[in-house]
Amino acid sequence: MSFSKRIPIFLLRLLALAATISATLIMVTSRDSAQVFNVKFEAKYTNSPTFTYFVLMNAIASGYTLILLFFPTKCSFGHLILIFDLIVALLLDSSISACIAIGQVGKKGNSHAGWLPICGQVPRFCDHVTGAIIAGFVAALVYFLILVYSLHNLINLFSLKN
Amino acid sequence: MSFSKRIPIFLLRLLALAATISATLIMVTSRDSAQVFNVKFEAKYTNSPTFTYFVLMNAIASGYTLILLFFPTKCSFGHLILIFDLIVALLLDSSISACIAIGQVGKKGNSHAGWLPICGQVPRFCDHVTGAIIAGFVAALVYFLILVYSLHNLINLFSLKN
């Protein structure tokens, strides 16, 4: 790939790194507590396996992006990078989707299942989770763009040959 | 793409079609009811926006796969198919991840949030949801394989050129 085509990929990876690190940090620092019926209730990300999964996936994506950004020559696997990028995009997509599903129950509850919303009690926790989901969404979107741009550089996507 | 290389893609799409149709039907037919404290409680997929999203995404993926299987010549967009396949893979991935997150709360509950498990009351509903998630997982996996196989046919993934 020519140098001029590598610059957009480098910038996109830099953005993905910022987004995944932000998502991880915002989720890890989400913490709030409330007193409900004299019982102290503390909300933190480790309370939910989904949020723990989110932190893990974003940390993995940060590490992967960091390696590709700063050790590109040593870790060049050629076209196999496309498959790794695809896997990272799928993992990020999976982690934000799971968090949105749980976040929606936290915000609105589910009257059918008898699950009450908790965001009224721990608003600071919910704000952090929302922020982390937004950062994670940016990361997933950037990885989608990296994939599309890399593919377009290798094969002309607008060619009608099949 | 040569005819012999199209056969595995055709077979994979056939498998993806079976999996997405199964996932949609199993989720749509999931229904169970229970009597809790004299209140009749009915579980169905429309009770949760996540399960509704799952049905919608799997129905879209079924429709897309069906079109590609049976009208391949009329709807040939060349290499752009790769991007559509990527989007479908991401949507399927997103829908099963969200369902697993909610299903996990349904099965185990979340004591920190005060959400009780519901699978003890509506086991038939939970079994259906589990089945739908497995079928959806197969569909997502098949789409991942379609992407890897198509990419490998266009560019040799094991070439070390970058």
Do the chains contact at B162 and A83, CB–CB below 8 Å? no
State the pLDDT at residue B77: 65
Is it the case that residue A162 has pLDDT exceeding 60? no
Residues of B in contact with A147 (CB under 8 A): 86
Q: Collect all residues with Cβ–Cβ distance below 8 Å to A134 and sequence separation of at least 6.
A: none
Is it the case that residue B158 has pLDDT exceeding 80? no
Do the chains contact at A151 and B105, CB–CB below 8 Å? no
Closest CA of chain B from A90, distance in Å? 6
Q: Which of A16-25, B5-14, B74-83 has the highest mean pLDDT?
A: A16-25
In Å, what is the CA distance from A38 to each residue of A35, A41, A44, A119? 6, 9, 19, 18
How much is the pTM? Answer: 0.91
Cβ contacts of A30-37, under 8 Å, gap ≥ 24: A30/A124, A30/A125, A30/A128, A30/A129, A30/A132, A31/A124, A31/A125, A31/A128, A32/A122, A32/A123, A32/A124, A32/A125, A32/A126, A32/A128, A33/A122, A34/A121, A34/A122, A36/A121
Delimit the domains of chain A by residue range: 3-154
Do the chains contact at A101 and B99, CB–CB below 8 Å? yes
> pLDDT per residue over B42-69, tens digit each?
888 989 999 999 999 999 999 999 999 9
Residues of A in contact with B83 (CB under 8 A): 148, 151, 157
Do the chains contact at A158 and B110, CB–CB below 8 Å? no
Do the chains contact at B112 and A47, CB–CB below 8 Å? yes
Q: Which of B90, B101, B148 sits opposite A98 (nearest CB)?
A: B101
What's at B10, amino acid-wise?
F
Residues of B in contact with A102 (CB under 8 A): 101-102, 105
Q: Which of A49, A79, A159 sits opposite B159 (nearest CB)?
A: A79
Do the chains contact at B90 and A86, CB–CB below 8 Å? no
Is it the case that residue B144 has pLDDT exceeding 90? yes
Closest CA of chain B from A110, distance in Å? 7
Do the chains contact at B79 and A161, CB–CB below 8 Å? yes
> pLDDT per residue over A104-160, tens digit each?
999 999 988 889 998 988 899 999 999 999 999 999 999 999 999 999 988 877 766
pLDDT band at A71 (very low <50, low <70, confident <90, very high): confident
Mean pLDDT of the B124-147 span: 96
Q: Collect all residues with Cβ–Cβ distance below 8 Å to B92 and sequence separation of at least 6.
A: B20, B57, B58, B61, B136, B139, B140, B143
Closest CA of chain B from A8, distance in Å? 15
Q: What is the CA radius of gyration of chain A?
A: 19
Of A13-27, B73-87, B92-106, least confident by mean pLDDT is B73-87
Residue keyed to tokens 């608003």: A123
State the pLDDT at residue A72: 64
Mean pLDDT of the B1-13 span: 84
Report how many Cβ contacts below 8 Å link chain A to chain B: 146
